[in-house]
Chain A
């Protein structure tokens, strides 16, 4: 539970680091890239629109100046008397129209504002214009370009008028400009889908049509929102009265108080910007997704590896503790056995002495109690037997605890195992045990003391035979010995029997010294401990799997000889 919490914490920490560490620079890069890219794009859009406005203004101004120059030329070339003749005006008008078809009509006015002659589609001769605004303005300034107005003809138009002083009299020449042509000239700017251009007078009245809606002489309801500054080009973004965002560029014409407006819907003007934004957003999402996905994947891999390593470490520690405990026990037992041997020696000598004295006494006929003597002999023999038993135990302990100098050689298990099995074959035959041997041809040699390894195998085989005998008696025993390569550097030897099996409880203690399940006097409980010690010293391991009543398998794993 505690380790689960620890791993949970570790997982969270690794995951957060794995996500944040690459994500922060990633976001910074994308953010900075987005900022520079979009501002460059925005600047480009603004400067290209400004250029369009500038070009367009020059064109309109040029058109008006040219028309003004045409009229100035007539004014300078002819006098009032000449032009007051209808035929003469016709001639002049025709010539004018050849030069520019922008002129709709041409008229001459005397000082009193009377339209003296008129050449054009309307009947305006004789009308008096003295009170008209344009007339007072031209008389005052000498030149006048009107806003668009309806006038007597009730059709929107604008005029260019020039006045000339001839001696005491001042007369005026006036031409009407083709509104449709001028309108087209202004309107013709097209910028992508929604871009449009139009002119406003200083009251905000449309002087040309607006493609997106707005006829000539309509009022522009957004006029007050516009930023303007003389003939400088101003750019800005505003919502129109319908709530649509527009990108505007405005400038005043130089010769006429008309405001040239070029506007484009923001979403249209900055389409590239939006596309770039969408692309960057997509990259960000996909990038973040991959980073997070990868972080999860790697975190799981790392955690799995850590947990595996920890488990292996715990396992190793456990083995190490067990091995050192066994070694300690061995040394302790050896010391103990040594000390016991001295008193045992005395008991044995005393036993021999008692035996000898008794025999002497009996021989000399000093004791005449044959029944008691028989009992006494039996008892003395028992002392001898038990001393012998103690002696065997202490010698086993000493063998277990001693650090013998093994003489390791390369052992070819393919030959070695059958030889060892041969040693117990007789016992197996008597007990009716069927022995199967399966040794892989590619079993590599191992390095160790063959005598010790033989001791291990015989121990395992004898244990197996005992277990089989306990379960089956002398019929139905199966013993299987297999060997072969185990991974790259190990060899396994397993001894499997169908004997009585070992309980889980016993399996835990089976390699501990003095632990035995055999009847008293049958086993010292040191056999498997000794085997364990030998295999351990060879750099190998020993394990047991068993099920009570089914059978047991001992598996020994030993390193392959390096001389292979």
Chain B
């Protein structure tokens, strides 16, 4: 399971990625929205945990951009500001879930896993649909997890 942490606090990124790696997750980190988008262009990452408040491109703008370019990626918003407004805005813009800082690492992992499950289920549904309508053709599709694959 792969995920990406996006936050402007470098120490948070390094410590949390160590913890998550310890739990068997493959973690990418980015300290800004722009950096995160760059990484996503190169690597397939199904789950992104995104800080709302960042200098430069903030969390909500980054979320919208990710959803525009990679609609299948699940994004979990993380903020120091536990307000309903930013939660609602995030959810409206397509975020999967919402976490308030300081979040317990186990809660973070379980939310990430839920999101991961969601992408997996969606992928399966898409595959199923494709297999029904284009059964006889050899079709290649891009999967966020597996890349191009022959069916």
Contacts and interface: CB of A to CB of B under 8 A. Distances in A.
A385 B103 CA distance: 13
B100 interface: yes
B17 to A, nearest CB: 10
Interface of A: 334, 337-342, 344-350, 352-353, 356, 387, 390-391, 395, 398-399, 402, 404-405
A302 to B, nearest CB: 51
B11 A346 contact: yes
A338 B80 contact: yes
A405 B102 contact: no
A342 B100 CA distance: 10
Given A339-B80, A398-B83, A346 B12 contact: yes
A405 B104 contact: no
B9 interface: yes
Interface in B9-36: 9, 11-12, 15-16, 18-19, 22
Interface string B97-126: 000111111000000000000000000000
Interface string B70-94: 0000000000111111000000000
B9 to A, nearest CB: 6
Contacts of B100: 341, 395
Given A342-B9, A402-B83, A404-B84, A347 B18 contact: no
Interface residues of B, number: 21
Given A349-B12, A353-B18, A356-B19, A344 B81 contact: no
5 contacts: A338-B80, A341-B80, A348-B105, A349-B16, A352-B19
Contact of B102 (A334, A353, A391, A399): A391
A339 B9 CA distance: 12
A409 to B, nearest CB: 18
B83 A348 contact: no
| Chain A interface, DSSP helix/strand/loop, else mixed | helix
Interface of B: 9, 11-12, 15-16, 18-19, 22, 53, 80-85, 100-105
Q: Which 3 A-B pairs have the closest CB atoms?
A: A341-B80, A344-B102, A345-B102
B19 A398 contact: no
A496 B112 CA distance: 49
A347 B104 CA distance: 11
Nearest to A340: B80
A334 B80 CA distance: 10
Nearest to B11: A346
B22 A356 contact: yes
B19 A353 contact: yes
B30 to A, nearest CB: 17
A339 B83 CA distance: 14
A216 to B, nearest CB: 125
Contacts of B16: 349
Given A402-B84, A404-B84, A405-B84, A341 B101 contact: yes
B80 A346 contact: no
A342 B104 CA distance: 13
Contacts of A346: 9, 11-12, 15
Contacts of B22: 356
